[in-house]
Structure 1
């Protein structure tokens, strides 16, 4: 009986306690439209939620008191209001957010490894949101970055269509790719790292242009691309996105989340892409687009621990089967010398995680592990490779007065083995590469009124190359509440993995020549950045201008010119420069019209014995734009996106090569119409490559003789002129600067369940 009375008493106490709590509800809007997935929280408490598809939210069981309500969403100004809640009260709030031009209040982490607003960051960071990626629907981030100023996805092979990302004219190996801040893409996986990540799971992509080796080590010489996935708590319950074009390619993204109890949440995403329709529009006998079949599965777990400490773990599996070549190639021809094809099987596994240690100081363990296997044939040339990378890092974050301190102890282990001379000893035996890379870095960010100074230093010890030092200096001054001037100076370095980074070293008939042991590349970079936001009676205008300069020593560049039958790799005896100016413009009208545009002028040269040479596949200028018009009453959005590139020097095979030495000015333009069908469905479609631009039909040299069976060579390996080959050519697919797909239509559908 006493136990019964006690239970009843506890229940009554619970009822009374609940009756003494309050409820807060409301709607988050931008204009008349509700904003889904906006973050709603009571500052300094654990009470928080996200808005649903209509923008509504509700917080229950809140103790009486006065709170600071904060409503935020990326790309919009934050809303803050003091709210007093009485016992048993129910308060309703209408929170209207204003869309920002330039997104100065967005939170960024890549530049300094700390969460700060974009305006407060001492390092300039560009942000690409999921909303921007949806303006031109593409199956991968690799293609989606085509419309970001200063960024150019480069196709490196006409046959297998692998590629990399150029930042301000610098080749792909100078760009480091991160997933949620962790270095998961490098070396062997560089050309595949930006595909297979479901677009529906991407929160944003942060881009740092310029060296970041002080914080991130090798490969962060030209810049960083950090793909940040959605939080397990903020992501929609379920999302689906599928589209296809008249080329009969098909892409599908699925995402869903679930909770285990109140503290464990999980987010899963699946990307599937399939293209099995050989097309040869230019009549050279080769596929215009590589046939591909891939699947990627991503799973992310988060655990809310005491004192708001976080622990997370993300896993990703990626598999792809791709081939390109003569259109009548079949798997039975793989590795043969009768029908040419480039067939690549890729299998990859990644694990990344963070764990904040249970101690008074803010110390976080970050770790990642990835394995990458490639089984491929380039014609009759086999290439098999195995790479494993283990990474761990302890981060200490401390605020001491005006000093924001950050220190880290990273350790990276890389195992790499393939069947090329890169991992063969002088005795012609297998000798896998094993590199240990321990390091230490410190960073101090000092704030004095509108001035901010960031000082950083990193020391790495490479087990192959020895000690490497990379200092960094950044200065920012806030000119007012919206405008800022930044100066960044830093040193970068990169340890080269030749065969894993330069696909041209494997494709075609050129012989690869390595003149000496390649030393690490080193660079110094300076960047001056100015941002300004202009508030007009009927518009926001954002300006972002940068001047950049990079000087390389020990730079490694492929030499296609000395011998048309060879690719010669060597450290540059002189130096190399990359310099230019970039301007971005955001115009956000109260009327339903938005414009984002940018232009970059650049000059890349290598100087050797006083001779200035422009590297191949580097443009002098580029421009990008995205124009959006919203038909609000009809629930439709029209997006017009495009880019334009200046001439690039192209790799010719001989002085008699009939192909043009420079590419023309070329542009890819697209139009897309999106229709909202209620609050959960979207139907979209449009036309890609409106101008139907395609490279010349003779881009692949001697496509009719891919094994060079009818090419004659002299005793020194030089091609002899013959009636069948008067221009002294060999088979070569490296003459490529743009995709071969012409104009095409596409249609897709999206579904989102909050």
Structure 2
């Protein structure tokens, strides 16, 4: 009897063992057949499930016999279900193709690093503001790019004038002059033209904005000590685009923008045009403008030519003109006979961009680009005027080679920058002329799937040579590495060196409208030099079957030597000199993102510890909040509606006199409803009317001769704007 029982038990065990099946799968994108790393498969009604590896492969083990429903899913792709009968006759892995969902953005391909890699595969830590995000931020501030930059962790747009709304970009606590702003890789916004640059660039013709935080010297020169912002404009497409935007604000603003782009066989064209105006606006009722009166016109036509499949040419012109008047409302309203305070800024900008790319083979590309820029600006305050013109050029030739394990970028470029002051006063003309010739090499090496190394080396020759470089020679190495620790966990580490040649165009000089500033003696002024680095860790996964989760945490540090400062002499004249000491800035940035169907929650935190080490004393960097918190909740259904809720916290900021401003929150609500050919939007910016004039003063002294305090909080308060966007084809 015992013998029969053992035989029966053995048969049952064998039956149970054979009823446990294994299913091998490879999950890929239905369009490009690329493996979907992290895609999941699960057996419905059981706890059996697995995630795909770097090859898109996975195994489901322990599947019972009979009909089973297998569910396949991946963030941004349509779920798929297959009913299979086990055991399967097929022994080779099943290929499962998933289709992108309608709400999925295309892969983010980065052009700033001269590579065709996606943002996930580049060793240099990059951030991209994509077309969808540009649409959201464009609803909030259609007239300029200040909004879309200021709401990123680690980036602050610092208002520098209480009545003219001038502002600059500060990355990781460093002054705006250490950030390079490019348009399609061309350095069009530097030197004299940087003072109002972010206030004069509308966003409607932008396709993507790419941001590098920290030194990025190899391809674009040493000026990008704090970071780099590359504004990528839209290109013509076969289907074409014709769009218009009209926006009005409760502060008296009106923005009208249009964009057209289309390919016609071997030719293509894009055309962007805008008119942006605002009346003087004084929400605090103190008699001074928080938003100045201004009128700006911008036009940017660009012609593309494709003579062969291997050769592409483009030629563009960027022209703008603006008149900006801030100050006492009585003066702005036309009472010119009295001694009222005002700030007048009239600017004219004209630049050309030429680019030719020729594909020598499937792996090699030769490119040549050139730009000429002219920028003219008149600044006037009571009793003083500063006028001048900046002429600059940029030329580059580069060769790119893409092999299986190596990518090379080799090239040389030449900058020229000349400024001429008109009607110079008693201190003399602040003219200058700089030339920078550079050669560079960048290599991206992928020895194994889990590791990518990017190295770069640049050599610049600057004339006239700064005081600390007798021959004007700068050697700038850079290194970045990407580690794929698991399918869901990656890390980047990188660092490099940078420099900034001395000029009079700093924020301190802007604050005094260049009055009583002595000409800069280049032979006695040293170049500012830097070394810095960052490291981050990025993790993404699915919580359950529907909720996507990602977190990125970054550490950064920058050491800046020989900072150029403006000092007041006993004779009440200002002169530039290099400080006896250095600046260092360190901190962390954390970005967390949750996604559930059409709901996204983004949380961000920035800690910045920026310090000045001058003459043996250590002080905090003025106008730099140590703590900043970003909270954004976005509800969005493709081609239907979009609702955004925002809340930003700024901790108390140290002011130049050693005192502190108070902390504050800024909150906003944005609503957009889409229709087949148009959409309507309404935005409540700073909905609870946070204003510095509510809890601190804007100026001291008499209103006819005000001494303005530093601006650390909004001065324009609550502004409601709304409008219409048309997309005709």
Question: Which range, TM-score by smaller chain?
Answer: 0.7 to 0.9
Aligned to 1:120: 121
CA contact (8 A) 1:513 1:566 kept: no
CA 1:381–1:234 in structure 2 vs 1: closer, same or farther (change >3 Å)? farther
2:685 alignment partner, one of 657, 664, 688 = 688
- The offset of 1:95, in angstroms, is 4.6
Kindly indicate whether residue 641 of structure 2 is the aligned counterpart of residue 642 of structure 1.
no
CA contact (8 A) 2:77 2:98 kept: no
Kindly indicate whether residue 531 of structure 2 is the aligned counterpart of residue 524 of structure 1.
yes
C-alpha distance in 2 between matches for 1:479 and 1:234:
41
- The offset of 1:631, in angstroms, is 6.5
Root mean square deviation, CA, Å: 3.1
TM-score normalised by structure 1 residue count:
0.77
CA contact (8 A) 1:237 1:257 kept: yes
CA 1:744–1:521 in structure 2 vs 1: closer, same or farther (change >3 Å)? same
Aligned to 1:166: 170
Aligned to 1:284: 286
TM-score normalised by structure 2 residue count:
0.80
CA 1:41–1:311 in structure 2 vs 1: closer, same or farther (change >3 Å)? farther
Q: How does 1:456-495 map to 2 (within 5 A)?
A: 456-465=456-465, 466-495=472-501
C-alpha distance in 2 between matches for 1:616 and 1:671:
30
2:554 alignment partner, one of 546, 570, 576 = 546
C-alpha distance in 2 between matches for 1:333 and 1:76:
59
- The offset of 1:624, in angstroms, is 1.8
Aligned to 1:205: 209
CA contact (8 A) 1:157 1:503 kept: no
Aligned to 2:432: 433
C-alpha distance in 2 between matches for 1:294 and 1:454:
42
Partner of 2:136: helix, strand, or coil?
A: coil
1:32-78 CA distance string (max 9 Å, x none): xxxxxxxx9999xxxxxxxxxxxxxxxxxxxxxxxxxxxxxxx9679
- The offset of 1:419, in angstroms, is 4.7
CA contact (8 A) 1:190 1:501 kept: no
CA contact (8 A) 1:214 1:456 kept: yes
CA 1:552–1:256 in structure 2 vs 1: closer, same or farther (change >3 Å)? same
Kindly indicate whether residue 375 of structure 2 is the aligned counterpart of residue 368 of structure 1.
no
Q: How does 1:668-747 map to 2 (within 5 A)?
A: 668-676=666-674, 678-696=675-693, 698-706=697-705, 731-747=706-722
CA contact (8 A) 1:291 1:324 kept: yes
1:571 alignment partner, one of 571, 578, 585 = 578
CA 1:738–1:515 in structure 2 vs 1: closer, same or farther (change >3 Å)? farther
CA 1:563–1:126 in structure 2 vs 1: closer, same or farther (change >3 Å)? farther
C-alpha distance in 1 between matches for 2:457 and 2:338:
53
Aligned to 1:416: 419
C-alpha distance in 2 between matches for 1:445 and 1:607:
37
- The offset of 1:218, in angstroms, is 3.3
Kindly indicate whether residue 579 of structure 2 is the aligned counterpart of residue 604 of structure 1.
no
Aligned to 2:144: 140
- The offset of 1:684, in angstroms, is 1.1
2:101 alignment partner, one of 88, 97, 100 = 97
1:92-147 CA distance string (max 9 Å, x none): x99533756xx89411122x222211110010111112322333420211222221
C-alpha distance in 1 between matches for 2:78 and 2:194:
37
Partner of 2:149: helix, strand, or coil?
A: helix
Aligned to 2:444: 445
C-alpha distance in 1 between matches for 2:665 and 2:195:
23
1:380 alignment partner, one of 372, 380, 383 = 383
CA contact (8 A) 2:240 2:262 kept: no
CA contact (8 A) 1:545 1:581 kept: yes
CA 1:236–1:575 in structure 2 vs 1: closer, same or farther (change >3 Å)? same
Aligned to 2:351: 350
C-alpha distance in 1 between matches for 2:411 and 2:76:
33
C-alpha distance in 1 between matches for 2:618 and 2:571:
20
Aligned to 1:62: none
1:192 alignment partner, one of 193, 196, 219 = 196
CA contact (8 A) 1:515 1:568 kept: no
CA contact (8 A) 1:146 1:643 kept: no
Q: How does 1:177-326 map to 2 (within 5 A)?
A: 177-233=181-237, 236-260=240-264, 262-276=265-279, 278-326=280-328
Partner of 1:119: helix, strand, or coil?
A: helix
C-alpha distance in 2 between matches for 1:178 and 1:617:
25
- The offset of 1:409, in angstroms, is 0.5
CA contact (8 A) 2:384 2:515 kept: no
1:364-422 CA distance string (max 9 Å, x none): 1021111100122122210101001110000111134522111111011111112598x
1:236-268 CA distance string (max 9 Å, x none): 5210111112222111211112444x1101011
- The offset of 1:610, in angstroms, is 2.7
Q: How does 1:10-29 map to 2 (within 5 A)?
A: none
- The offset of 1:358, in angstroms, is 7.0
C-alpha distance in 1 between matches for 2:514 and 2:371:
35
C-alpha distance in 2 between matches for 1:169 and 1:406:
31
CA contact (8 A) 1:373 1:387 kept: yes
CA contact (8 A) 2:326 2:332 kept: no
Aligned to 1:24: none
CA contact (8 A) 1:622 1:644 kept: yes
CA 1:504–1:662 in structure 2 vs 1: closer, same or farther (change >3 Å)? farther
C-alpha distance in 2 between matches for 1:265 and 1:555:
46
C-alpha distance in 1 between matches for 2:108 and 2:501:
34
CA contact (8 A) 1:119 1:482 kept: no
- The offset of 1:701, in angstroms, is 2.1
Q: How does 1:28-47 map to 2 (within 5 A)?
A: none
C-alpha distance in 1 between matches for 2:404 and 2:283:
65
- The offset of 1:196, in angstroms, is 3.9
Partner of 2:612: helix, strand, or coil?
A: strand
Task: Count matched residues.
Answer: 628
Gap regions ≥5 residues in structure 1: 1-39, 44-74, 80-92, 653-659, 707-730
Partner of 2:330: helix, strand, or coil?
A: coil
Bigger drift between 736-745 and 482-491 goes to 736-745
CA 1:441–1:94 in structure 2 vs 1: closer, same or farther (change >3 Å)? closer
- The offset of 1:474, in angstroms, is 1.0
- The offset of 1:438, in angstroms, is 0.8
CA 1:611–1:291 in structure 2 vs 1: closer, same or farther (change >3 Å)? same
- The offset of 1:526, in angstroms, is 1.2
Partner of 1:135: helix, strand, or coil?
A: helix
